Amino acid sequence: MSRMPQSAASKGRQRARKRKCCRCGSVRSCRAQIANYCCFVNATFGRVAATAALVCGLCLWIEVLPARAQASVALELVLAVDTSTSVDRHEFALQQRGFAEAFRHPDVIRAIERTGGGGVAVSLVHWSGRGKQRTSVGWTIVRGAKGAEELASKIERSGRLLDGFTDIAGALGFSIRALQNNGLEGRRKVIDVSGDGTSNGPSAAAARDAAIASGVTVNGLVIHNEEYDLGELAKINLFDHYKAHVVGGPGAFLMAARDFDDFRSAIRKKLVREITGPLFSKEHRPNFTAQALRTFEHVNRD
């Protein structure tokens, strides 16, 4: 008669040893405390292992991802503005106002809108003597009137960053690097150099040739400044100097402003011509629409 209670107790102990874990619900042949502890360890290890697997998976996924596609635009344009000592405060303000008003002008906005949707990426650079080049307005993509207004406002808010001598070669080198490192992919790349003096630094022609070799066109805007005494440099014909040593590349062109007051009108026409494209280059002429050609002809009637 005494074996029955023992058998019942034995069965009770077996049931206790095989009870379900209160955490995971699995059957464990252990005491409840040990079962709970083992489940805690297993659950913790499982979370660590899962996290490690997730991290490894992300690393492998990142490694096989293709490089992020570059933003595509119709034109990458660096506006390289002379801020050397020969440009006084009033003349600098005229340049700044001229650029801002140009981007607000209907002719410029119309030319941008007709680039095909990609728009125009613009950066404004100040330059003067050797080693003196700084970005005044970073890369801004303009596709219409809203973007043009944003860019114009940035230009108006920017202050003068430099003065000193005149190093056109340094300006070109800095602008080339800006085009190479901007994360953009433009169908055309242009550096627009405006200035009132010849280069008294390294060879501008060598820098111009480097720009052409990298697929960049260099256009020029000569500003005749008779108010500043340029000394011996005044004997050099500035327009001829830019033509021979600065301007180059597919569809390159050179324009002149009579003075800084004339800059506003000149830069507007120049921007339309740059945005529209190299219409005067025979190999490029078929690529431009009749509508774009009418835009250019309309602007140049003024």
pLDDT digits (tens, 9 = 90+) for 134-175: 999 999 999 999 999 999 999 999 878 766 778 999 999 999
Integer-rounded Cα radius of gyration of the chain: 34
267 and 232: one domain?
yes
Model pLDDT, residue 86: 81
257 and 202: one domain?
yes
Query: 298 or 201: whose pLDDT is higher?
Result: 201
pLDDT in tens, 112-134: 999 987 899 999 999 988 888 99
46 and 193: one domain?
no
Instruction: Give me 232's structure tokens.
Output: 């011996």
3 state SS of 34: helix
The CATH number that applies at residue 190 is: 3.40.50.410
43 and 127: one domain?
no
Q: Across residues 67-74, what is the average pLDDT?
A: 69
60 and 183: one domain?
no
Query: 68 or 195: whose pLDDT is higher?
Result: 195
Strands 254-257 and 217-223: parallel
- pTM score, two decimals? 0.68
47 and 171: one domain?
no
Query: 59 or 142: whose pLDDT is higher?
Result: 142
Model pLDDT, residue 270: 94
189 and 230: one domain?
yes
Total tally of structural domains belonging to the chain:
2
The residue assigned the tokens 């095909």 is 116
Strands 133-142 and 254-257: unpaired
58 and 191: one domain?
no
Domain boundary among 47, 64, 81: 64
Query: 14 or 253: whose pLDDT is higher?
Result: 253
How many degrees, rounded to 5, is the angle at CA 257 between CA 253 and CA 230?
105
Model pLDDT, residue 153: 96
Q: Across residues 289-302, what is the average pLDDT?
A: 41
Mean pLDDT lowest among 19-23, 61-65, 102-106: 61-65
60 and 78: one domain?
no
Model pLDDT, residue 88: 83
Q: Side-chain half-sphere of 149: how many Cα atoms within 13 Å?
A: 3
pLDDT(248) > 90? yes
Domain boundary among 46, 64, 82: 64
Model pLDDT, residue 281: 39
pLDDT(176) > 80? yes
Model pLDDT, residue 2: 46
DSSP-based helix, strand, coil % in the chain, nearest 5: 50, 20, 30
pLDDT(290) > 60? no
157 and 215: one domain?
yes
Structural domain harbouring 259: 72-299
23 and 152: one domain?
no
Model pLDDT, residue 262: 84
Domain boundary among 64, 80, 102: 64
9 and 97: one domain?
no
Instruction: Give me 91's structure tokens.
Output: 């003349």
